[in-house]
């Protein structure tokens, strides 16, 4: 499988970092997959098949064409924005801003609790702490995600990781998930990294705010 993934990447003319971003994994994890040190998850196989038109029969057996059709990765290339030498990303408290929607709609009125200074990152609008384990082990509760707000939910790049505010019976539910296409019209599929969390289809109309995750910071406690 590793040699197949490497061949797909070469055919698409993508770097390891670019394909890793598309799959929602780290560059080191992709390198391990390509060298056969670890396997490819079912979730990432689905991304290759659904988003990059990889032939599932070829992926499993090596027979037939690599792609079902010309892979559409133009949007992915356009998504990658240039890095900034240095920027100060405001770190917000969700509790202090009363939720993601007020944070996005009234950002200038919300006071950051701190600033994160990291070089060579794409432009980020802000950062928040993660709560919950749905993206474990990639993200754990207490980690920080840096995000770029989306103005239109229709600009989603399938398979990428997003910070979302979802309306559940009038209550705001904030989560970080991969977003994939749903077979149901007017829905998207929310996918967790943690296998103990089931995938879930939700109506697009229930998404109140959305941002693409640009980077994450692992917080380790030393005792």
**Domain limits of the chain?**
2-79, 83-217
In our burial notation (b when 16+ CB lie closer than 10 A, e otherwise), range 64-97 reads eebbeeebebeebeeeeeeeeeebebbbbebeeb
Please state whether 20 falls in left (phi above 0), alpha (psi between -120 and 50) or beta: alpha
Question: Which of 68, 54, 41 shows the shortest CA–CA distance to 7?
Answer: 54
What is the structure's pLDDT at 16? 87
What is the structure's pLDDT at 71? 47
What is the structure's pLDDT at 221? 58
Whether 2-79 and 83-217 share one fold: the answer is: no
Give yes or no for a cis peptide into 92 (omega within 30° of 0).
no
Query: Quick check: 117 and 100 in contact, CB under 8 A?
Result: no
φ/ψ (deg, to 5) at 9: -60, -40
Q: What are the tokens at 82? A: 């240039």
Q: CATH topology for 83-217?
A: Umud Fragment, subunit A (2.10.109)
At the second CATH level, the architecture of 2-79 is Orthogonal Bundle (1.10)
Q: Say if strands 161-168 and 207-217 run parallel, antiparallel, or are unpaired.
A: antiparallel
What is the structure's pLDDT at 65? 86
What is the structure's pLDDT at 21? 78
Going residue by residue through the chain, which has 223 residues, state the pLDDT in tens, using 9 for 90 and above.
889 999 988 988 888 888 887 787 888 888 888 988 888 887 788 778 877 788 888 888 888 888 875 544 444 444 445 666 778 899 998 876 678 888 888 766 788 999 998 887 788 899 999 988 888 888 888 899 999 998 888 778 888 899 999 998 888 899 999 998 888 999 999 999 888 888 999 999 999 999 999 888 887 655 5
Q: What is the pTM of this model?
A: 0.64
């Amino acid at each position: 499988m590793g040699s197949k993934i490497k061949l797909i990447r070469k055919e698409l003319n993508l770097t390891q970092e670019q394909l890793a971003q598309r799959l929602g994994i780290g560059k080191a994890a992709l390198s391990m997959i390509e060298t056969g040190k670890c396997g490819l998850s079912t979730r990432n196989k689905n991304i290759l098949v659904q988003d990059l038109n990889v032939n599932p029969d070829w992926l499993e057996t090596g027979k037939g064409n690599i792609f079902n059709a010309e892979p559409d990765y133009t949007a992915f290339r356009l998504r990658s924005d240039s890095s900034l030498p240095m920027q100060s990303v405001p770190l917000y408290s969700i509790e202090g801003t009363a939720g993601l929607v007020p944070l996005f709609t009234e950002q200038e009125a919300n006071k950051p609790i701190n600033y994160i200074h990291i070089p060579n990152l794409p432009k980020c609008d802000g950062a928040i702490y993660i709560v919950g384990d749905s993206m474990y082990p990639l993200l754990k509760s207490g980690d920080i995600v840096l995000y770029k707000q989306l103005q239109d939910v229709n600009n989603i790049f399938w398979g990428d990781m997003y910070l979302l505010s979802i309306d559940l019976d009038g209550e705001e539910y904030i989560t970080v998930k991969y977003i994939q296409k749903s077979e149901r019209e007017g829905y998207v599929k929310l996918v967790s990294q943690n296998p103990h969390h089931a995938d879930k289809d939700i109506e697009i109309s229930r998404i109140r705010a959305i941002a693409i995750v640009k980077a994450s910071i692992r917080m380790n406690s030393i005792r």
